[in-house]
Amino acid sequence: MTRPLKLAIIGGGPSAFYVASRLLSLFPQSYSDSLRIHIFDRLWAPHGLVRYGVAPDHPEVKNCTHKFDSAASDSRLKFFGNVNVTSNGIHGSLPLDSLKKNYTHLVFATGCTEPNIHPNFSRRDGIISALSVVHWYTRHPSNPPPPPLRSTTDISIIGMGNVSLDVTRMLLSPTSVLDKFDVPSHVLDLLRASQVKHVSVIGRRGPAEAAFTTKELREMMNLPDVAMRPLEPSLLDVKAPTRQQSRTLDLLKKGSKASFGSTPKTWSLDFYRSPIGVTSQSPSSHSLTLGHTTVDPLTKRAVPELDSEGAQITCTIPTSLIVSAMGFHADPSSTAPYAQWYDLDQKHIKTLPGGRVSATNLDSEEPKVYASGWAANGAKGVLASTMMDAYSVAQAILEDWTQFTHSLPAPPFSPSASASAAALSSSPWDAPPQEIVQALSSSKKKVLVTTYEDWLAVDAEEVRRASAEGKERERMDWKEAKSFLEGRSSICS
């Protein structure tokens, strides 16, 4: 009898759903009853970075959720939210060993959840991560404190990627522009009360090396009632630029749609500057010291700009708040379920082609382990590259399963054939681990683990609550969603 493919995916973001949807579509139709996919997410809602990382004024980026909804409608796929998988099952979490006993294949799609902090900074007053700001305006379940916008006039953002421009745009956009989007009401209230007048986006290299996209830059240039501080023309003199660089340089040369000096709010791109240190006079008053840099023509790396005596040239600027936007890395903590496979240098899981985790896919070893998306490659790329990576992982899983079953010579798998399979200890064979079964059945009216059906109900309710005000949606936090789902369960029963 053909062995089933029973896959557990840890993480419920886009990479997880792309792996699942691809595998569902690739799996031989005549063997469809041999496939089960269970997605486990520590957050109560699915979609990960799409729900909690995409800027609210970019609704088109979230269109991929239609594909995820379609995959979740397949009876072979189940989602279990509010489930934290750890190496030892502490504090009520699901132990990794439980997954190993219940599944033939395992995918880590856990993303990069930790912000990178500049080595010259520490976590102190006046310095927050861009991730904290993003999670504030997307109502992430971690519930970070709101930025102190009522006492902040000038913000310095360290880093020149798309996240930096997302945060800048959200902080400077008129609320009349934002209030139709997926922005929680309490976020809009604080933005209306904000005292922010200027945002500096600081990068250690020049315009040719900036990591933000032309699309993000164009949006910043077209913000109503917001102007960009003009750049020195010499900064934009780049030899032999690529087509992409030329587009960026052309936008920078034209400058913002609103002229500088005519608007209540401004922003700037401060190239060739690298943080050295910060001195705090008060919680809302800091002196940020920046070292001047230049780009090494051979390595393209930023190097100190030196004066005639060989010392780095520096400057100091006043600022109310410093936001670190230097990217993200996977969680290396000892409680992380993949700690033994973590690459300390690259700060993500070590993988071989097809997302196979090193030394875990031997013929005699189960479950076979893979990693996909940012968990495997680091925090880089866009949704399209995440999708293609996930597709390659799905292909590798299918190839490994096909090889194990010797090119599918046997009849399709039937549930009765699973009784002797040590790796599938659940009864029935396609059930989730007993910890999940018990949590789901503990009480009809007490929601501990969420399903995709729960999410669809919350999704519809969030949209309904906002429709009267012409908004995209009004987000719930976990407390509200839990109360809503338990009330709905009570009515249904």
pLDDT, tens only, 237-248: 998 999 999 999
Amino acid identity at 333:
S
Q: What is the pLDDT of residue 2?
A: 61
Same fold, 5-113+330-441 and 117-326: no
User: 374 labelled as ligand-binding?
Assistant: yes
Amino acid identity at 352:
L
Band of pLDDT at residue 86, cut at 50, 70 and 90: confident
* Average pLDDT of the residues of the chain: 89
User: 401 labelled as ligand-binding?
Assistant: no
- The pLDDT of residue 35 is above 50: yes
Contacts of 212 (CB under 8 A, 6+ apart): 160, 161, 162, 164, 165
- The pLDDT of residue 134 is above 70: yes
Rounded to whole angstroms, how far apart are CA atoms 80 and 73? 14
Instruction: Tell me the mean pLDDT in the region 197-213.
Output: 96
User: 49 labelled as ligand-binding?
Assistant: yes
Band of pLDDT at residue 125, cut at 50, 70 and 90: low
Instruction: List phi, psi (to 5°) of 351.
Output: -135, 160
| Interval 415-461: pLDDT, tens | 444 433 444 444 578 899 988 988 887 655 577 899 999 999 999 99
User: 139 labelled as ligand-binding?
Assistant: no
> According to CATH, what is the number of the domain 117-326?
3.50.50.60
- The pLDDT of residue 61 is above 80: yes
Rounded to whole angstroms, how far apart are CA atoms 328 and 274? 18
User: 124 labelled as ligand-binding?
Assistant: no
Rounded to whole angstroms, how far apart are CA atoms 98 and 84? 12
User: 486 labelled as ligand-binding?
Assistant: no
pTM of the model: 0.91
| Interval 105-124: pLDDT, tens | 999 999 999 999 888 887 67
The residue that leads in pLDDT, 365 or 63, is 63
Instruction: Tell me the mean pLDDT in the region 288-310.
Output: 94
- The pLDDT of residue 484 is above 80: yes
Q: What is the pLDDT of residue 423?
A: 44
3-class secondary structure, 144: coil
Domain regions of the chain by residue span: 5-113+330-441, 117-326
What are 377's two structure tokens?
A: 């490659």
Contacts of 17 (CB under 8 A, 6+ apart): 39, 46, 47, 67, 68, 71, 72
CB 429 within 8 A of CB 417: no
| Interval 384-410: pLDDT, tens | 999 999 999 999 999 988 886 655 444
Portion of the chain with pLDDT greater than 90, in percent: 71
Angle (CA) 402 406 410, round 5° = 95
Rounded to whole angstroms, how far apart are CA atoms 315 and 62? 41
Q: What is the pLDDT of residue 439?
A: 83
Q: What is the pLDDT of residue 20?
A: 98
Instruction: Tell me the mean pLDDT in the region 346-359.
Output: 85
Q: What is the pLDDT of residue 82?
A: 95
User: Is the domain covering 5-113+330-441 a CATH 3.40.50.720 domain?
Assistant: yes
Instruction: List phi, psi (to 5°) of 192.
Output: -65, -35
Residue 373: alpha-carbon gap to chain centroid = 10
231-235, 426-430, 477-481: the lowest-pLDDT one: 426-430
